[in-house]
Structures are given as C-alpha cells and as structure tokens.
C-alpha cells in the first residue's frame, strides 16, 4: 500500500511538474517559437553539406559525457583510440533542422489516444531520446513528428520546422524502422549504392562519394565489402553492424533530421555503446537525431542531450538529462548510486511495477 501510495503521489506531481502543458515547465525548459523563423528545408538543400574537412584521427581518447549529479557518480569511461595507421576521413557538415512539436495527440480507430498532448523540441547537433515503458506511445510519437502515420491513426497538433508550420518534405529526413530490412545477397557497399541509385537524382558517378561518406559515418569500413547474409547464407553480419547498415541506408540521402525507432534493438551492451557513440559523432556534424529507447546503460545515458519520458501516452518530463535527474530527486525519487538512471526512471513511471509489488506481497503472506 505504501509503494502504491508513493507511486500515485509521484505520478501526480510529475505530471504537473514535468508535463509540457505546465506553465512553469514551458517557461523554463521550452521555447516553441524561434526569434528568426527560417524557411522549411527542401530536397534541394540535402546534397549541400558544405565544404569537406579532412580530419585525422585525434590522439586523445574520446570521453563520454558524465552525469554531474550529487545522487549519482559520474562515470567517464573512454573509448579505445584508433590506430595511428588509420586513414583520414572526410567529415561532412550538415545544416540540421530545428523541430518543435506542440500538443500532439494521436488517436487510433477505437478512439483510444496513444499520445496525449505531447510537446517538445529537437535542435541541430543534439541527441533527443523518447523513453518509456512498453506500450507507452514512443514509436507512435516518433511517427507523428516525422509525418509517417498509419491509416487508422489521426494526428492533432502542430509541428514546426525551423519555425515554420510545415511537414518535413521528402529527402530532408531519414527514418529507420525497428526491424532491419536488408537485401541479404548484397554486400554492404552494394546495398548502399543501390539505395543511392533509387533515391538520389543525378548521374551514377555522383553516387559513389555519397556511399563512401555513409560508410565512414557509420564506421562500416571493415564490413563494406562483406556479404550482408541472412537465413539462406552460412555467414551474416553481426546484429550491431546490420543496424549500422540500416542507418547508413538513410544517410545516403544526407538528411537534415534522422529518426530512429529503437536503435539498440537486440544489441548487447558493448554494441549498443559503440553505436550510440557513432550517433553522437553523427549529431556533432549538425544533424538533428531523434530516436526511441526502452532503457539504456549508464554510459549510454550520458550521451543523451534531451529526454522525453512517456507513460501511457502522457509526457511526464521533457528537458535536459541532468534536469531529469534533478526533477526526480525533487519529487522524492532520487536515483540510487548503484542503479542506472533509465532503469530508475522506468521503475518510477511504470504502473506495472505496482502490480508486481502487490503480487509479491500476497505471495509472501500466503507462503508465510
């Protein structure tokens, strides 16, 4: 009873304190309109990423972002630095788009609301994650922002692109589904090349640099000429590399905004960390990256810039990741020292845990 009461008290306080509809949160954490509205991005803008920058691998280690919180220690693991003989790569710069969604409501055919008045924003050069328990509306919200709704779903609300109320045009964004759909009989380079031929205008010779850039961006150089493989082949690419190929397939469009549904789906902890470091590097080029996630490790959580917490379609919090830790601490749910922040958030907002606690108590009474 005490756990259920505290959970109900927290949910009521978090909904009022962290919800985008609250005036206090809207005034401190969110800016829905920009002072200088720009024009919507278009397909013609996509190929122009700016000048190429030849960058040699840095000799210093790459340190992950740390969580500066008094209730949680700051992990700072380092990624192994590349060898000195590694070839230089071309770093592209992309003009990302600023996205703002305001009071988005998604209803399905049975009049059930999968998303209930969600608001937030995503800026160029940042990682924005939509996190929550199962069936909380994460993928539905991602599709609503990208404008890729199913036939039975209806969307109400506003989406602004660079301050202009306009949907994202074709060619300006990439969308990666949860399940990888790849041609198993092709190599990684052939898969990306045929994807570029189908999606990009221009002559054949202009496609090769685009494919090479996508391979370099997703760190697929060692697998570029290997067969993707699958059910009909003895060998197949590892799950992490297959996920990278699916993301690289969208990068051939040189998108301003990249949507990814569950990028760490079916990945182990090491592959998940390496993929998120690659996405962080991709965002540093200026691309706006928005993705969904069920939960993450402490190291992966330190890479996020903004987090949107959903529960039963309600937005319980939107803002900076460190502000989320402080918000839960102020609500009476500080993150324990030896627990991952994402696990702590899901434990606090998931109503299924209340039923599990009640079942355990009943079992203890019956066996006691």
Distance, in Å, from the CA atom of 226 to the CA atom of 60, rounded to the nearest integer, reads 30
Q: Is residue 232 classed exposed, middle or buried when 0-12, 13-18 and 19+ CB atoms within 10 A define those classes?
A: exposed
Distance, in Å, from the CA atom of 239 to the CA atom of 263, rounded to the nearest integer, reads 11
Residue 150: its pLDDT value, please? 80
Residue 330: its pLDDT value, please? 87
Q: Where are the domains of the chain?
A: 2-43+64-77+87-172+255-367, 180-254
How crowded is residue 172: how many other Cβ atoms within 10 Å of its Cβ? 21
Q: What topology is assigned to 2-43+64-77+87-172+255-367 in CATH?
A: Rossmann fold (3.40.50)
Place of tokens 């009476």: 332
Residue 122: its pLDDT value, please? 95
Contact 345, 328 (CB under 8 A): yes
CA angle centred on 71, ends 65 and 76, rounded to 5°: 25
Greatest CA separation for the chain: 76
**How big, in percent rounded to 5, are the helix, strand and coil portions of the chain?**
35, 20, 45
Q: What is the separation of C-alpha 58 from the centre of its chain, rounded to a whole number of angstroms?
A: 26
Residue 167: its pLDDT value, please? 84
Could you list the pLDDT tens digit for every one of the 368 residues in the chain? 444 444 444 343 333 333 334 444 444 444 444 444 444 444 344 433 333 333 334 333 333 333 333 333 333 333 334 333 334 445 566 677 899 999 999 998 776 788 999 999 999 999 999 998 888 889 999 999 998 888 788 899 999 999 999 888 888 899 999 988 898 889 999 999 999 998 888 766 678 889 999 999 999 999 999 999 887 777 888 989 999 999 999 999 889 999 999 999 888 889 999 999 999 999 999 999 999 998 888 899 999 999 999 988 899 899 998 898 888 888 888 888 888 888 888 888 876 666 655 666 666 667 65
Contact 106, 114 (CB under 8 A): yes
């Amino acid at each position: 009873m005490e756990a259920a009461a505290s959970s109900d008290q927290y949910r009521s306080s978090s909904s009022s304190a962290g919800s985008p509809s609250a005036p206090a949160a809207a005034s401190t954490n969110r800016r829905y309109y920009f002072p200088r509205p720009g024009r919507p991005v278009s397909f013609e803008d996509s190929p122009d990423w700016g000048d190429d920058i030849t960058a040699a691998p840095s000799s210093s280690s790459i340190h992950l972002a740390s969580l500066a919180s008094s209730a949680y220690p700051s992990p700072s693991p380092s990624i192994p630095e590349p060898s000195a003989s590694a070839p230089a790569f071309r770093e592209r710069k992309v003009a990302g788009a600023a996205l703002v969604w305001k009071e988005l409501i998604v209803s399905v055919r049975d009049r059930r609301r999968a998303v209930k008045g969600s608001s937030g924003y995503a800026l160029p050069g940042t990682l924005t994650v939509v996190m929550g328990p199962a069936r909380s509306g994460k993928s539905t919200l991602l599709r609503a922002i990208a404008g890729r709704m199913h036939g039975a779903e209806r969307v109400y609300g506003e989406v602004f692109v660079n301050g202009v109320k306009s949907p994202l045009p074709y060619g300006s964004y990439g969308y990666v589904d949860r399940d990888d759909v790849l041609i198993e009989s092709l190599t990684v380079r052939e898969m990306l090349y045929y994807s570029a031929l189908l999606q990009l205008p221009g002559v054949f010779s202009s496609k090769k640099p685009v494919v090479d850039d996508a391979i370099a961006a997703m760190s697929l150089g060692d697998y570029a000429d290997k067969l993707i493989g699958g059910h009909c082949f003895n060998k197949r690419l590892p799950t992490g590399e297959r996920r990278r190929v699916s993301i690289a397939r969208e990068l051939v469009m040189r998108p301003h905004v990249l949507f990814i549904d569950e990028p760490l789906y079916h990945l182990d902890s090491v592959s998940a960390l390496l993929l998120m470091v690659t996405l962080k590097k991709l965002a540093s080029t200026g691309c706006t990256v928005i993705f969904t996630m069920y939960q993450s490790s402490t190291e992966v959580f330190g890479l996020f810039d903004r987090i949107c917490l959903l529960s039963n379609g309600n937005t319980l919090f939107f803002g900076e990741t460190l502000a989320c830790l402080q918000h839960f601490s102020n609500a009476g749910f500080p993150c324990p020292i030896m627990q991952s922040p994402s696990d702590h958030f899901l434990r606090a907002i998931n109503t299924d845990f209340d039923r599990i606690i009640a079942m355990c108590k009943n079992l203890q009474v019956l066996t006691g």
